[in-house]
Structure 1
Amino acid sequence: VITSIDDNIGISLSVFEFTQEGNASVHLVDLSASYGHRDNFTAEISLSENLSGILHYRLRVEDTWGNEVITPWESIMVCDNDPPLLSFQEGDVDVSTGEVSRFVFRAEDNIGIVSHSIELSEHPDAVIQSHYSYPFLVITISMDESFPSPHPSLSVNVSDGNNSNGMELVLNLHDATPPTMEFLKVPEEMVLSGTYELSVIVHDNVGWRDPSVVWMGGDQGEAAAKVSVNMTEPEGTGFTAALFPPGPGSWVLNVSVFDLSGNAAIREFQYEIVDDVKPEPRIKTATTEAVSGESITLDASSSEDDSSIVGYTWTVTLPDGTEQTFTGESIDLVPTEEGDYTITLEVEDEGGNTAVASTTITVTPVPGDEDEGSGTDVLLWGAIIGSVLLFLVVILVIFLIVRKRSGGEAEEEEEEVLSWD
């Protein structure tokens, strides 16, 4: 602003006043030092870079006698051609889905930053928060779980109202979101003889692979047993598995799946599998025919069970119906009576299940004892027959004697009758 001032006696005070549009503050610039007490002068006023927009100004002058003159307000448009300065200061360009990331930018301008805008490409669902406090712009991004591409870009733009400046930051997005498994069918409890089905639907932002179902643990320390799985249709929606309880006792069913980024989802189910399978008793003996007094070994060691057999009970029914009870995996039996011996074996496993098997052993007398017994019987029967015959002979003799006597008495009576005649 070039100002020319003229007075007849000299100027004592000269002040340049200006204010910005929309700002009530009035700025004063004392011009007295630039001319002294000359009658006229030319003053050049330089405005600060921080001024922009419409500027109103006037001049107030006094001479040495105190006469004052004030010029009318005039306006001038001050244009700002300097864009803001923007630079990246702090933050990790390696970001992950589902996590919060923080970035700091430095934004400066000669007249001040009045607005800013932020955009994250391909992630409209990401939550972006920002705060500007001179000279720093702090941006916080809560990443969503989508994974459209591994390199989204963060665009930042700042403006002073007249000029703007922006920059783009390429991020390295890592998928940190594990798959989720939705279990449609899961058995609540299991028995050893049952067959069960597991049905699962899998959700993931990038796709999934490698479903696995494994039995782990067991009371007897069995190794892990993998279960075969089948993918469900349409392809990639889930999988099913047929479950066969591996053994009685406490077991853990481990179900897992991985996504294409290597994140895993794992779920475990605890089962107390009830042993409802009966054992298979088996009686082993060298023969089913034995001789009286001969020792017979009865062996149940070939009996089988899914876990282990804890009890063996033998019941031996003698030919006369008497029962004898023994315990143990094997026993020795010495029969003393001839006839059929019924052998019953009952086995019990650790689950309390029992099963019974039986067999029959026929016992015959010792061959020598059998001949001796036959001779004795012949003699006995001979004695009996002889006694009977002797008895019959005695009866016959008595009968004949009695008859003879009866005949003699009859003749004497006849003679007496004849003599009377």
Structure 2
Amino acid sequence: MTCPHAAAGSVRTYPFGDRVDLELDPAYAELRAGDPVARVRMPYGGEAWLLTRHADIKKASADPRLSMHAGADRDVPRAAPRGLDSVGLMGMPPESHARLRRLVSRAFTARRVAELRPRITEITHGLIDGLIAEGGPADLVQRLALPLPTAVICEMLGIPNEDRHVFRAFTEALMSSSRYTEQEVAEAAEQYADYLRGYVAERRAHPQDDLLSALIEAHDEGEQLSGNELLMLVGGMLIGGHETTAGQLAGHVALLLRDRSRYEELRARPELVPTAVEELLRVVPLWASVGPTRIATEDVEIGGVTIRAGEAVVYSLASANRDESVFENAGDVVLDRTHNPHIAFGQGPHYCLGAPLARAELQCALEALVTRLPGLRLAVPADELAWHEGMLVRGPVELPVTW
């Protein structure tokens, strides 16, 4: 199912189809070519402007007049059933958002991640040791894609890995678009908040050399964090630190094994892994639909269209990363692509803080797979893979592999 052909300037119904796998609806390419700033009717809240071109999205991402905070605490046109929580990091006032990002950013610098890389590699190889010991077939989602980033972020924050079931339950509820009811989401959120309050209290009484203790110290001594801000930051890092990377890693491996010549290329040339990861980030969609809504606080011109104050703007990073005017052979997977200005991690003030960590985890995982499991292949036909439905993030439910 794709959106019907419509004249430029007409209002289309979004989403255009129900794609949940690695492919994008062809409507995005049609819009990039003929209606790159398109009027769309969103599933919730009314109409918005949809941006699909790389240049327009980069410009919009850096423009402070297009504000997430402006629409955080009211009903706005959006793709998800829930709007941005007004106490969430993305929905905060710009000055508060910048202050909290500065506090946390030190933990995710390229230098800090480089220091963590030996431990990331150790965790990765330990998981693959387990795979090899038990033999195939195995589900790579549960055996590598999910436990790797979960273990890393738990260690960074000082949270026991065995407690991961608590934030897994909340993550699945929060990241759902239709799988869970609002009551189920609220109940999961309260259980999650109770857990974090208890763990923060324990860490306050017994501080350790970890990120959580450092954030508590900033709250208790420097008075830079409120109690709600502390819980929000810790919760956000736990969720963002594992859910998106797990989905991407599973999607990357699925794409490599769907046309196994790609996996063979990396097996023969493992030095290509860092470049290949950038290409996989470009072509593997992370989000099931567009991201959070921005509201124009004054008139803004984007792509030759005047967006009036008060109007909503959404955009597709996945569409931007397939923009033919930026990427040569944009529809192809080119693992040694050298010019690759993708924006998979976003742009501007909301650029993903965890991008260096995600890159390291993806690189370590692929390096280990192609060197230690050269015969890795799907254990089921590619068209039989089941993909998450009713969720904001894309990814296979399971990734059965053998070697």
Give the number of the structure with larger relative contact order, counting CA–CA contacts within 8 Å between residues 6 or more apart. 2
Bigger radius of gyration among the two: 1
Q: After TM superposition, is the score higher than 0.5? A: no
- TM-score (norm: length of structure 2): 0.16
TM-score (norm 1): 0.15
User: Higher strand share goes to which structure?
Assistant: 1
